Structure 1
Amino acid sequence: MASVGGVVSRASRMRTKLQSALEAIVLEIEDVSHQHASHAAMKDSNAQETHFNVKIVSPKFHGQTLLKRHRMVYAALSDELHSGLHALSIVAKTPDEQ
């Protein structure tokens, strides 16, 4: 896992959790926090690694609605969402859909 000063990055933790829970065959995680630094909720905060784009392709999504797929991603990242992860943009597909 990538770390800075001994601290594992949120993106690395997210990668581990999503890979473990959803057995992703494609997993792309992009930190776009810098694009939101001027937002009111972020201005008075030292928060970093708060906004991410996630593309995940998993066989576990087969037969699941888009809403259910997103819920599966949110469930896997529950700890992160309760510790500073503010927003996710999710693309969730099956291997047949990619």
Structure 2
Amino acid sequence: MTLENKIQSALIDAFAPDTLDVINESRLHAGHNREAAATGQTHFRIRISSPKFTGVSRVNCHRAINEALKFAFDEGLHALAIEIIAPPQS
């Protein structure tokens, strides 16, 4: 299982997201990061929306996501861009 797949699974398990995009941007950073060039699994962007984020500050959402993905940093994740998508207003 790739790191990308592990990240996606962990986010699904932790947040049951309505929307989730896990985007591997490692190729964009290969020029300044040898590990990115070697593994191709070091820089990711996630776009996520979850009912679990309702009423939670963006800072605390980011903290929760980083906590859920702590294992990924141990496995070589170098950079993570997080985009919280606001749930639709009714």
User: Normalization by structure 2: what TM-score?
Assistant: 0.88
Quick one: distance in 2 between partners of 1:85 and 1:59?
26
Report the counterpart of residue 83 of structure 1 in structure 2: 75
Provide runs of 4+ in structure 1 moved above 4 Å. Answer: none
2:71 aligned counterpart, secondary structure: helix
User: Normalization by structure 1: what TM-score?
Assistant: 0.82
Report the counterpart of residue 26 of structure 1 in structure 2: 19
* Structural RMSD (CA): 1.3
Higher share of residues assigned helix? 2
Matches for 1:59-78 after TM superposition, within 5 Å: 59-78=51-70
Report the counterpart of residue 28 of structure 2 in structure 1: 35
Q: How many residue pairs align between the two structures?
A: 87
Amino acid at match of 1:60: K
Amino acid at match of 1:24: P
**Unaligned ranges ≥5, structure 1:** 1-7
Identity of aligned residues (%): 31
Amino acid at match of 1:9: T
C-alpha contact 1:59 1:94 (8 A) present in aligned 2? no
Report the counterpart of residue 5 of structure 1 in structure 2: none
Report the counterpart of residue 53 of structure 1 in structure 2: 45
1:81 to partner: Cα distance: 1.2
Quick one: distance in 1 between partners of 2:84 and 2:65?
8
C-alpha contact 1:50 1:85 (8 A) present in aligned 2? yes
